[in-house]
């Protein structure tokens, strides 16, 4: 095996592990805000690692891989933020163990 195949394979396995952690956070976390945090952060890092691993494993794919990484880095946090704000304004309550709610009364419809 060449060095780029070894490095790309290791990066893909790291990305798959972070995808697995995102799925585990979906099951284990108590309310929708914690689930959004776990799912979005873990899958963003997993996408970086996996797609960069594909680009290193097979170098003709490298430019399009960098385009996909830039696209996911721009859109994934925006979607998560929009969904969190929408679910707060729609009246979804946080988990009962939540101590601080800094958004309370911040934006009245």
Partner 1 sequence: MIETFFVLIGIGVVLSFIRILLGPTSSDRVAALDTMNVMLIGTITVIALVLKRGIYLDIALVYGLLSYLETVVISRYLEGRK
- Tell me which residue has tokens 């601080």: 100
* Contact call for residue 103 and partner 1 (CB under 8 A): no
How many whole angstroms separate alpha carbon 35 and alpha carbon 87? 12
CA distance 75 to 15: 18
Restricted to residues 49-78, the positions that interact with partner 1 (CB under 8 A) are: 50-51, 54, 57-58, 60-61, 64-65, 67-68, 71-72, 75-76, 78
Closest CB 70 distance from partner 1, rounded Å: 10
Question: Between residues 23 and 103, which has the closer beta carbon with respect to partner 1?
Answer: 23
Q: How far apart are CA 92 and CA 25, in angstroms?
A: 19
> Which one of residues 90, 100, 105, 106 is an interface residue with partner 1 (CB under 8 A)?
90
């Amino acid at each position: 095996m060449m060095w780029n195949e070894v490095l790309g394979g290791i990066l893909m396995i790291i990305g798959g592990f972070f995808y697995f952690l995102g799925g585990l956070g979906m099951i284990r976390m108590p309310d929708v805000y914690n689930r959004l945090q776990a799912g979005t952060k873990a899958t963003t890092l997993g996408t970086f690692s996996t797609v960069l691993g594909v680009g290193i494993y097979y170098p003709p794919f490298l430019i399009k891989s960098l385009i996909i990484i830039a696209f996911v880095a721009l859109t994934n946090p925006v979607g998560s933020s929009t969904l969190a704000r929408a679910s707060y304004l729609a009246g979804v309550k946080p988990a009962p163990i939540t101590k601080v709610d800094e958004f309370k009364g911040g934006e009245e419809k």
